[in-house]
Amino acid sequence: MQWTGSVEALGTAIGGVAALLGLGAVIVQLRHLTESIRSAARGATYDVGVQIKLVLLEHPQLRPFFFDDVPAPPDHPEASQIASLAELYCMYFQELVGQGLNVTANNRAAWHNLVTSMYRTSPPIRSQLTHHLEWYSVELRAVITRLQAEDNSQEARTLGSAEGSDIARISD
Residue, of 159 and 49, whose pLDDT is higher: 49
| Rounded Cα distance, 126 and 168, in Å | 35
Identify which of 115, 82, 122, 84 has the alpha carbon closest to the alpha carbon of residue 98. 115
Residue, of 133 and 48, whose pLDDT is higher: 133
Residue, of 29 and 88, whose pLDDT is higher: 88
Q: What is the dihedral of CA 150, 151, 157, 160, to 10 degrees?
A: -140
> What percentage of the chain carries pLDDT values higher than 70?
83
Q: Give residue 70's region: left, alpha or beta (phi > 0; psi -120 to 50).
A: beta
- At residue 141, does pLDDT exceed 80? yes
| Rounded Cα distance, 41 and 58, in Å | 26
Mean pLDDT of the chain: 82
- Taking only the tens place, the pLDDT of each residue in 47-100 is 888 888 999 999 999 999 999 999 999 899 999 999 999 999 999 999 888 888
| Rounded Cα distance, 157 and 150, in Å | 11
| Rounded Cα distance, 40 and 65, in Å | 31
Q: What is the pTM of this model?
A: 0.70
Distant-in-sequence, close-in-space partners of 15: CB < 8 Å, separation ≥ 6: none
| Rounded Cα distance, 101 and 169, in Å | 52
Instruction: Please report which confidence band the pLDDT of residue 171 belongs to, taking 50, 70 and 90 as the band edges.
Output: very low
Mean pLDDT on 97-114: 84
Under 8 Å between Cβ of 122 and 67: yes
- At residue 125, does pLDDT exceed 50? yes
Identify which of 25, 2, 5 has the alpha carbon closest to the alpha carbon of residue 13. 5
Distance in Å from the first CA to the final CA of the chain: 110
